[in-house]
Structure 1
Amino acid sequence: MKKLAIITSHPIQYYAPLFRHIASVADFSFKVFYLWNFGVTQQVDAGFKQRIQWDVPLLSGYDNEFVPNISPHPGTSHFWGLQNPSLFNQVRAYNPDAVLLMNYNYASLYNFIWRWNCRQTPLLFRGDSHRLLPITGAKQWLRRKFISLIYRRFSACLYVGQGNYHYFRYHGVPPENLFFAPHAIDNDRFFSQAEEASRQAKLWQQELGIPENHSVILFAGKFEEKKRPQDLLQAFLQANLSQVSLLFVGAGSLERELHRQAAEHPHIYFACFQNQTLMPRTYAAADLVVLPSYGSWETWGLAINEAMCMSRPAIASTHVGCASDLIQPYRNGLIFPAGDLSALATCLQEAFSDRERLKMWGEESRKIVTHYSYTQTTQGLKEALVHLGVLCPSQ
C-alpha cells in the first residue's frame, strides 16, 4: 500500500475529521506529522485572548505523531514558532511515496522543503492564500519571484477555491498541476445536530435576553481588527432595522470597545467564546450570519461553511476568500465591498426586507455547501496522487 506523509502545524478542529474521513475511504495509508501541540493542550489563543482547548477529538481515527518543537515561543504567529530539527529524519523514517505540506512559511518547513529530494519523492502543497487585495511595488515583485521559486518544489498543488486557484496561477503553478480540494468542515456533524441545535438555540436566546419576536444577525469569531466586528456594529446601527437584534459571539482584543459602542443600543447582545460542540447551537440562533473581514488574511472563512450547514444565509465582504465560492448573491446571501459600512448597512436592509426570502436563502445555503465536503477534498487529493503516479487511476 502506498504511503503519504502529511505535515501540518498543529491539530486543527477542521482538519482532524478530514483526516478521519480520508483514513476511512482511502486506498493508501498516511501519517500526519504535527509540529506543535496547540489545541490538544490548554494554551492561550492569540486571537481570542484566552486559554482554550478544543472539545472535539483531534487525534483519534488516523495515524499521527508529534515532532518535537524547540522554539522558545512555539506557535504559528511568527516565522520561528515552528522549529523542529528532527522533522526531516522522522518523515524520512516513515518512507513515504509522497509528502503533502499544509504550510510552508516557517523555519522548519523551509528547511524541509529545500532538503527533501522531491525528484525521488514528490511534494504536494495545499494552501488557501489569495490576492483579493492585490499589492504592487518592488517589494511585492520580489515576493512573487520568491514564492514562485518555492512552488517549483511542489509537483502538485491543491486549491481550496477560486481565489486560491488564481493565487497559484499568479505564482506560476501550471493549471495541469492544480487540483480542487475545497475547504470544508464536518458537514455531517452539523447536519445531524440541526434539529436539537434549533431547540437549544431558542432556550439560549431567552437566556441572552433576545426578544422572541426578533430576528438575529450573528457575528461569531475573534473580536480583532482584521475581522472588523466594529464595522458590523456600525452598519447595524446605520441600517436601523425593525425587530432585529445583533449578537456577537466570541472574545478578543476589541471586546471592551465593542461593549462601549453597543452600550446605548438595547438590541446588541454578547456571548462568550463557544467551543466546537456548541457551534451548531450558535448558528441555529441566527437568521443571518455576517463576516465583514478586511485584508488578505481571511483566506477562506470556515464560519460561512458552518453557517450554511445550519441552513443560514450569509453576508461577507469581498476580502473573504470563500465569498465568491460559497455566496451566490440573491440566492443564499450577499457580498459587499470590504470596509464599506454604507454598503454593508444596505445589505442588511435588503436581507431583512423580505424575511420569507431570507429563509429561502438559508435553504439554498445548505444545498450549496454539500458540494464543499470532505468527500470532494479527498477526491482532489486522490486525483493529485494519480497525476503524480503515486496511485493508479482505479484507486
Structure 2
Amino acid sequence: KRGRLRQRMANALREVDPAVAMIPGWATPASLVALEWCLRNQRPAVVMSETNAFDEERYALAELIKRRVVSLFSAGLAGGQLQREYLITLGLPRDRVFTGYDVVDNEYFATNAAHVRANQAAFRRELNLPERYFLASARFVEKKNLLTLLRAYASYRELAGRLEGLSPWDLILLGDGPLRETLNSQLSTLNLRRHVLLPGFIQYRKLPAYYALADAFVHASVPEQWGLVVNEAMATGLPVIVSNRCGCVPDLVAEGKNGFTFDPASVKNLGRLMVDVSRLSDRRLEEMGGESRRIVAGFTPAHFATGAQRAIDVAKATPICRATLFSWLLLKALVRR
C-alpha cells in the first residue's frame, strides 16, 4: 500500500509540477511521501499545521523526531499563535512561519444567519427549535468531552432552578458518531430528555439556521488542535464558551468580551458559566456577539490566502534543504510505520 501511495503521489506531483508544495502536517504517510518527493526534486515545501504544544501529551523522543522532519520544510503556515510557536519550537525560524491556516467562510455564515434571523419564526417552526438555547456542534467521540458537557448542563439547570426569574435555556447538540448511544443513555440518567435535542449530523447548508437562532455557543473539547466550529459560531455573531484546551482560544476568545473559557475537566465551572451567560441581558449578548464578529473578521479565506502567499514567497527565497542519509532513512521508516 505504501509503495502504491508513493508511486501515485509521485505521478500526481510530477504532473502538477508545483513550484512550491503546501503539505498538511507531517504525521500521515501521504504528507511524508509528498515531502520526500519535494526533497528528491528540490522543490520547497511549506508545512501547514494546527498542532500546538499542549494538545497532546509530548514525549522527548517523538519531539526529537518531529524536529528532524520539520527541519526539512522551507516555511510554515500555522493556525494561530499557539500553532505558530510550536512550529518555531520544532525548529522553523520565526521569520518563516505565518498564520491563517484555520479559517471558515465567514461571509457565508453571516449572510445566511442574517436571513434566518429576519425570518426566525418560520425557521424556528420548521426546525422545531426552542425559544432559547445553548448550541454545541461536534463529532460524538471522546475528545469532544460531550459527557462532561451534559453533566455541566444538568448542573446548570439545577443552579438556574434556584434563581428567581431565570428560566433555563435548552441545549442543542449537533453531530453524530460512535458515542451517540452513550449520550442518549446519559440523557435518561440525568433526566434531560425534554431539554436536550440531538438533531444528528446537519448538512452544511442548514448549519447557519441553528447558529442564528441560538443564544450562545459551547465547545467543551479536550484536547482540540483548533476548533473551527468556534469560527462558525462567531461568524454568525454568537457569544462563545470555550474549553481552555482548544487551540483557537488565544486568537478568538477575549475573556469577558466575546466569551469565556473554562477548565474542561470541571463540570461545576462550566455549569456556573452557563448560568452566568444565560443571566445576561439580550443587549449584552448582542454586544458580545458583535465582538465575536469583529474578532473573527481577521480569520477569513483571504487571511488564509495572504498567509499562504507569504509562506510561499519565503519558501521560494530560502535555499532548499538537502536531506542527509539519516533524514532519508527516517522518512522511509515513518512512511512504513
TM over 0.5: yes
Once superposed, what is the RMSD of the aligned Cα atoms? Answer: 2.2
Distance in 2 of aligned mates of 1:250 and 1:204 = 20
Distance in 1 of aligned mates of 2:39 and 2:24 = 18
Residues 215-243 of structure 1, C-alpha deviations (whole Å, 9 max, x = no match): 21011121221111121111111012323
| Aligned equivalent of 1:99, options 5, 21, 33 | 21
Q: Equivalences for 1:198-209 in 2 at 5 Å?
A: 198-199=117-118, 202-206=121-125, 209=128
SS in 2 for 1:315: strand
Provide TM-score, normalisation by structure 2. Answer: 0.83
Residues 292-316 of structure 1, C-alpha deviations (whole Å, 9 max, x = no match): 0012xx2111101111111011111
Cα deviation, residue 191, structure 1: 2.1
Contact 1:85 1:108 (8 Å CA) reproduced: no
Distance in 1 of aligned mates of 2:210 and 2:45 = 39
Distance in 2 of aligned mates of 1:112 and 1:133 = 25
Question: CA 1:330–1:118 in structure 2 vs 1: closer, same or farther (change >3 Å)?
Answer: farther
Corresponding letter in the other structure for 2:234: M
1:158 aligns with 2:77: yes
Aligned match of 1:145 = 64
Distance in 2 of aligned mates of 1:205 and 1:259 = 24
Aligned match of 1:172 = 91
SS in 1 for 2:39: coil
Distance in 2 of aligned mates of 1:381 and 1:179 = 8
Contact 1:218 1:289 (8 Å CA) reproduced: yes
Distance in 1 of aligned mates of 2:75 and 2:214 = 40
Distance in 2 of aligned mates of 1:286 and 1:227 = 20
SS in 1 for 2:309: helix
Contact 2:220 2:243 (8 Å CA) reproduced: yes
Residues 132-161 of structure 1, C-alpha deviations (whole Å, 9 max, x = no match): 24635xxx1110110011111111001111
Distance in 2 of aligned mates of 1:176 and 1:239 = 46
Corresponding letter in the other structure for 2:108: R
Contact 1:118 1:153 (8 Å CA) reproduced: no
Corresponding letter in the other structure for 2:11: N
Aligned match of 1:367 = 294
Contact 2:79 2:99 (8 Å CA) reproduced: yes
- Gaps in structure 2 of 5+ consecutive residues: 161-166, 319-337
1:278 aligns with 2:229: no
| Aligned equivalent of 2:140, options 206, 223, 230 | 223
SS in 1 for 2:25: coil
Aligned-residue sequence identity (percent) comes to: 25
Contact 1:289 1:312 (8 Å CA) reproduced: yes
Question: CA 1:89–1:134 in structure 2 vs 1: closer, same or farther (change >3 Å)?
Answer: closer
Contact 2:257 2:291 (8 Å CA) reproduced: yes
Higher relative contact order (CA 8 A, sep 6+): 2
Cα deviation, residue 200, structure 1: 6.0
Provide TM-score, normalisation by structure 1. Answer: 0.72
Question: CA 1:277–1:209 in structure 2 vs 1: closer, same or farther (change >3 Å)?
Answer: closer
Contact 2:21 2:45 (8 Å CA) reproduced: yes
More helix by share: 2
